[in-house]
Amino acid sequence: MAKRTGSKNQILLDAAVKTFARTGYHRTRVADIAREAGVADGTVYIYFQNKEDILISLFQSLMNRFVDELYSELAQCINANEKLEKIITYHLTTLGSKPEQAKVTQLELRQIDQKINEGISKPLLSYFKLIEEVIEEGKEQGLYRQDLNTRTARKVVFGGIDEVVTCWVMSGKPYNLADLKESVFELLIRGLQK
């Protein structure tokens, strides 16, 4: 009957995060997700085109929320430095508090064909864009070097944060991810500043 179509859609995505995090994308059978969600196998195909589509939808859903929330948080910051600090804090804190999401984001999502990667790149691009905007802003505010290549800077900034998260996930998470935020910020901010 589907009172809110969103409801079962979300139930399935939640089941998918759990199952992917537990078993890994390739080892997960569609039947596993269905069982975890408490529905029949065929029901999955009412809401998603196929197995890949589940992964992509999942990432888009996670990423959209991530970027949206981050955007509103940034509104309170007064300059690029604060914004960069907020980005790092938010990134590490959010993933640090959602280990299942982190595992899917850092490991499972990279286990897919390049073709599918395109479906994943799009929502990621908005995060990239956000970082680049902050860097540009810093340059305009006279905080960052004028000769900074914004795109390369963004890659280094994102890559640095991302690697910190990946190492945490792969280590089995024996320490608090968010605790690294000052170290990471210090390392990255200096590269940008005059």
**Minimum distance, C-beta of residue 2 to DNA, in the bound complex (Å):** 4
Query: Are 171 and 182 in contact, with CB atoms under 8 Å apart?
Result: no
Tokens of 180: 């690294």
**Minimum distance, C-beta of residue 14 to DNA, in the bound complex (Å):** 15
Residue of 8, 83, 91, 139 interacting with DNA (CB under 7 A): 8
Q: Does 26 help bind its own copies (rule: CB under 8 A)?
A: yes
3-state secondary structure of 193: strand
Q: Does 130 help bind DNA (rule: CB under 7 A)?
A: no
Q: Does 43 help bind DNA (rule: CB under 7 A)?
A: yes
| Residue closer to DNA (CB basis): 29 or 151 | 29
| Residue closer to DNA (CB basis): 42 or 174 | 42
Q: 173: left (phi > 0), else alpha (psi -120 to 50), else beta? A: left
Looking at beta carbons, which pairs linking 121-124 to residues 24 or more positions away fall under 8 Å? Answer: 122/60, 123/59, 123/60, 123/63, 123/64, 123/67, 124/63
Which of its own copies, DNA, none lies near 19, with the C-beta cut-off 5 to 8 A by kind?
Answer: none
Q: 70: left (phi > 0), else alpha (psi -120 to 50), else beta? A: alpha
Q: Does 142 help bind its own copies (rule: CB under 8 A)?
A: no
Interactions with DNA, residue window 87-126 (CB under 7 A): none
Which residues contribute to the site for DNA (CB under 7 A)? 1-2, 4-5, 8, 27-31, 39-47, 50-52
